[in-house]
Chain A
């Protein structure tokens, strides 16, 4: 009898608690992306993107289909306040479901805010229990809210579109950026998302679409500049992320050879010359020909070598473009300082205080070795006569 009483009392403990922090899926707003922009002088406008489950086309719900089917399957709202959380609190006041950041996969930071420093944004992104370190961070040239509000044609949600595009070659998660920020002699690089009109012939479906093609170079936590085309490619080469990308190479005047990079590796080393470090960058690439606009017969010896040299030159010039820009601004995006910190920790102690000033004097030697591994199905373009 006593036993039964004990069991009953234990059962009561369970029942009395109720399900105190239970939230059903129908009561949460799963935020899939958020954006932070500068509002006025110092306020922050926080925007959130919430997918609408009823529009997502699951079983038992009406509607469905992708973004092409008229109704947007997501909802975007924003609010401005002195802090991100305060802005979110204001949004929450007009939301019937609780905002949940556990599934935020993308965070977009407007470039104005990024120029002021992203440290304040990162506090919000990392402090809460819900935050994911795998959230992708992007800088946007336009207002972050507008980036969220593009209507992608191939994905249901803009956040998905951003994520998929970013993952094509280069992305930075919150964790990567935190690493860069915390490492001595290393500055973060964050991909930049911008909006472009698609160039379809049908005016009905002409909208602004997301595009990621450049990188934001940071000095500590502040955005220094956004790379141009050549620099962007240089960034990818330096980071070893060029795999699978296509690179047009000028081979003669007005004649280009398009190559796909099949394999690529970049290694950085250093040597001490006259008490100063000299950085050695070694880039290896294996490429395949995709398209040739010239009448070169690549099967001839010498011609292939020449083409390889042209490719090497192109790569080197791209890489140097970003390295030179960095050197003049005293930015160490590729962790040269971090390399010295690891390998030459004693000397690093002397250098670290005026590392940024030193950077402009440091010599960076880039050697590129590329190999054309495949010509495609033929050496010389078909239909061209041998000379």
Chain B
């Protein structure tokens, strides 16, 4: 609605502008300038003029009531502080009724005496911790919608804001999307304040800086930028702030909105920010000089900048012994390849390059393909799409039904389709292996990217064979090499290569050997630990 109105205004403006240019024929340079001016006007028109509070209580209340028309959840509570008229305004369900009742309402009503100034009310009467003042309607409303209580008094063009919020939120629980065997079991919740407090509990240092912002013209969503002063580069923090300030949108409900609005290459299929629910992941990344963005209303936090390799790392890598972590990393890289290339390779090898398969293997492929009516690529597409559909169905359905769906899928697609001679058994193996492979990728968004690219590779493989796959690899790797996340090359530290930084890419060095923070990201303070950290056996 709001946008529509704005557009109308814009069009009116442009009309009037064109009339003006029609009257005074000017050089093109001037019209250019006018265009710029026009755009600026448009932008300015989106920023609302702030309306100052009035001096009289009744005026203030009636304006407020008019602005908050048809909002029955907003409560206006007229009271008398001694002889003085006053009014409490709050939203039902967002306030701590106990605090308001006992720390404000009761104290104010029991006061008998001469009129009080704001300062006196704040200092002598109210027993609420956080009290502030606002002078405009807009600011007052913002506070009101945050859950604060407004106290208007007679003959003041200011309003007292009493901070006594309380609303229901989810308790801290283990994140479902990033569960771990060894490691903390807590995850962020939808309240950004709680999330920040979890972070604060991980990093008890003055260096942890929290910058708050509001984004979204209608939703006024709280957004928090967290970073470690002196470790995160200041240019990076500035850049993040700049990109966040640029956002002018009606609402933000999830980090996904922000991600798409601030990433470097919006057209890229690869995620250029990492979303996580884990406070330990965020804290560890802050220590490596990254910046986190937390958004109110979602348990996900965004981390930036990220690299390709980060998408293949789980927080548990750092908690388990380094041998197993290194092994798991190689496993993930291997299965990344499987998830991306296996169906394409199968198609290419069975339809173009028969001689590349071992002889006995091709006999068994040929034997199982004998009765199949479809070409390999159609078979692969049917199975892959069926698998994706199954997965999607399993995600959306309630957990109990989801299980039934997956059993059904496994039976129908796994067994019946093969027995009916619609799909060959090797294809089922290929598809299920790719399915498993795509779930070994710890970052869900990255897994989706890989799954999508797989379809492209399958099509190109069915047309050009291995040659097509090679072209696909070239295209993907060129894109990855070019891609940047907040200025950091996506494939760093492998490309551009810096050997010293490879300590945490293909292998996970033991903690006593990881002396430095990643150099390519951080702004300063390289040392992570002292040099003599290798434990020694007691003799």
Contacts and interface: CB of A to CB of B under 8 A. Distances in A.
B309 interface: no
Contacts of A58: 363-368, 370, 425
B460 interface: yes
A319 B460 CA distance: 59
B369 interface: yes
A353 interface: no
B359 A105 contact: yes
B463 interface: yes
A60 B425 contact: yes
Contact of A56 (B350, B363, B419, B465): B363
Nearest to A60: B368
B366 A17 contact: no
B363 A19 contact: no
B448 interface: no
A61 B370 contact: yes
B368 A61 contact: yes
Given A21-B352, A103-B359, A26 B366 contact: yes
A18 interface: yes
Nearest to A159: B359
B463 A18 contact: yes
Nearest to B459: A14
Contact of A14 (B350, B418, B419, B463): B463
B366 A25 contact: yes
A82 interface: no
Interface stretch (B220-228, B371-379, B527-535): B371-379
A105 B362 CA distance: 13
Contacts of B365: 25, 58
B367 A54 contact: yes
A205 interface: no
A58 B367 CA distance: 5
Contacts of A102: 354-355
B424 interface: yes
A32 B358 CA distance: 12
A356 to B, nearest CB: 39
Nearest to B367: A58
Interface string B182-201: 00000000000000000000
A153 to B, nearest CB: 18
Nearest to A163: B359
Interface in B354-403: 354-355, 359, 362-372, 375-377
A380 B259 CA distance: 86
Interface centre among A18, A51, A60, A105 (most CB of B within 10 A): A60
B462 interface: yes
Interface in A281-322: none
A57 interface: yes
Interface centre among A17, A28, A32, A58 (most CB of B within 10 A): A58
A23 to B, nearest CB: 7
B426 to A, nearest CB: 8
A2 interface: no
B351 interface: yes
Contact of A22 (B352, B359, B371): B352
Nearest to A23: B351
A24 interface: yes
Interface string A43-78: 000000001011011111100000000000000000
B421 interface: yes
Contacts of B351: 19, 22-25
A14 B464 CA distance: 9
Interface string A2-40: 000000000000100111011111101010100000000
**What range describes how many residues of B lie at the interface?**
20 to 34
B275 to A, nearest CB: 28
B350 A25 contact: yes
Nearest to A58: B367
A90 interface: no
A270 B350 CA distance: 52
Contacts of B425: 58-60
A241 interface: no
A13 to B, nearest CB: 10
Nearest to B353: A102
Contacts of B418: 59-60
A53 B463 contact: no
Nearest to B421: A60
A132 B418 CA distance: 33
A83 interface: no
A24 B350 contact: yes
A133 B496 CA distance: 41
B369 A24 contact: yes
Contacts of A105: 359
B359 A59 contact: no
Contact of A61 (B354, B362, B367, B462): B367
Contacts of A28: 354, 366
A61 B460 CA distance: 30
A100 interface: yes
Contacts of A61: 367-368, 370-371
A25 B362 contact: yes
A18 B465 CA distance: 12
B251 to A, nearest CB: 29
Contact of B372 (A26, A32, A100): A26
Interface string B119-161: 0000000000000000000000000000000000000000000
A382 to B, nearest CB: 45
Nearest to B359: A103
A237 B338 CA distance: 47
A199 B315 CA distance: 68
Contacts of B464: 17
A101 B327 CA distance: 41
Contact of A26 (B355, B359, B369): B369
Nearest to A22: B351
Contacts of B419: 60
28 contacts: A14-B460, A14-B463, A17-B463, A17-B464, A19-B463, A22-B352, A24-B351, A24-B376, A26-B369, A30-B359, A32-B359, A53-B370, A54-B371, A56-B363, A56-B364, A56-B367, A58-B364, A58-B370, A60-B367, A60-B372, A60-B418, A60-B421, A61-B368, A61-B371, A103-B354, A103-B359, A105-B359, A130-B355
Q: Which 9 A-B pairs have the closest CB atoms?
A: A58-B367, A102-B355, A53-B366, A59-B425, A53-B367, A58-B368, A56-B367, A25-B369, A103-B359
Interface of B: 350-352, 354-355, 359, 362-372, 375-377, 418-419, 421, 424-425, 459-460, 462-465
Interface of A: 14, 17-19, 21-26, 28, 30, 32, 51, 53-54, 56-61, 100, 102-103, 105, 130, 132
